[in-house]
Amino acid sequence: MGQITRIIQEIDLEGTTDGCITIGIIAEPYGPESQSVASIGILLQSNASEPDWKVHIPKENIDAVITALHEAKKAL
């Protein structure tokens, strides 16, 4: 799998001392010629070498995910 090729933003992870959320772009995540994806990583400690959780979102799904996250926020 590909590595993050561009970091868009790092956000402090609420409820942790040192955690963060990273938003980035991964080029060719599934091998040569695979489409780039947005990547969201959750690190419970910001100095970790790999995220504790991560998700890859294809460009075509980003708007739907944003809408669902807004709905989740309302429900919290």
Q: pLDDT class for 8, splitting at 50, 70, 90?
A: very high
> Strand pairing partners for 37?
26, 58
Angle, CA 50 vertex, CA 55 and CA 56 arms, to 5°? 15
Average pLDDT for residues 42-68, to the nearest whole number? 95
pLDDT of residue 51: 92
Q: Is the pLDDT of residue 19 over 90?
A: yes
Per-residue pLDDT, 2: 67
Tell me how far apart the alpha carbons of residues 36 and 59 are, in angstroms, rounded to a whole number: 8
Which of the four pLDDT bands, split at 50, 70 and 90, describes residue 46?
confident
Q: Is 1 a residue whose pLDDT tops 60?
A: no
Indicate the SS3 state at residue 36. coil
What gap in Å lies between CA 56 and CA 36, rounded to an integer? 9
